[in-house]
Structure 1
Amino acid sequence: MWRPIAESLGLFLLPFLLFAVYLALRMRWPLAIEHWTRSRVAALVIAGLAAALAGLIGASLFAPRGQGVYIPARVENGVLVPGRIE
């Protein structure tokens, strides 16, 4: 459950991180408020949403699909037999 949320959050935050690295490489303080104007933040939010959406779509398109039938767990002769896919 947490993995898709963490992946989407990471993809959303990636443009902000890249912009901060860009500012640091240009020898500017990345936490200075004058670098984070409203238009830049809006563009980073749009880029982050696009990256997160692309990640979700890519994960759903390329995820391995189960082949076979699920056999649920059961008790045979007092022993729990785990579920499996056949």
Structure 2
Amino acid sequence: MLRLVFEQIALFSLPFILFAGWLLLARRSPLDGAEWKPQWTRLVLAGLFVVVVSLVMTGLTGERHAEGYVPPRYENGRLVPGHFR
């Protein structure tokens, strides 16, 4: 679960990293707030778009289990772990 959160944070930050790279290539300072201020909304929307698209694609192409998940249960006094059928 933590890996998924880190992946989504990395995907959200991708437009910001690309914009900073573009500023470096254009020989502008990526540390100057005046360069970022007009683009802030666009970068946030682009980051959210990338995250939503990645979640949708994961949902569409993720592995499916026909029988579903069987939760953990007790049988004859022993704990049987959960599993997919």
TM-score by length of 2: 0.76
Q: Give how far 1:73 is off.
A: 7.3
The 1-side partners of 2:11 and 2:62 are apart by 18
**Equivalent residues in 2 for 1:1-86 (5 A)?**
1-38=1-38, 40-68=39-67, 85-86=84-85
Identical amino acids, percent of aligned pairs: 40
Structure 2 gap ranges (5+): 74-78
**CA distance in structure 1 between the aligned counterparts of 2:40 and 2:70, rounded to whole angstroms:** 50
- Per-residue displacement from partner, 1:62-81 (whole Å, max 9, x unpaired)? 1011244667779xxxxx98
Rounded Cα–Cα distance in structure 1 between residues aligned with 2:17 and 2:54: 17
- The one of the two structures with greater contact order (alpha-carbon pairs below 8 A, sep at least 6) is 1
Q: Note the aligned Cα RMSD (angstroms).
A: 2.3
Taking a change above 3 Å as real, the CA distance of residues 41 and 65 of structure 1, as seen in their structure-2 partners, is: same
* TM-score for both structures, normalised by structure 1: 0.75
Number of aligned residue pairs: give it.
85
- Summarize the Cα distance change of 1:66–1:37 in structure 2 as closer, same or farther, 3 Å threshold: same
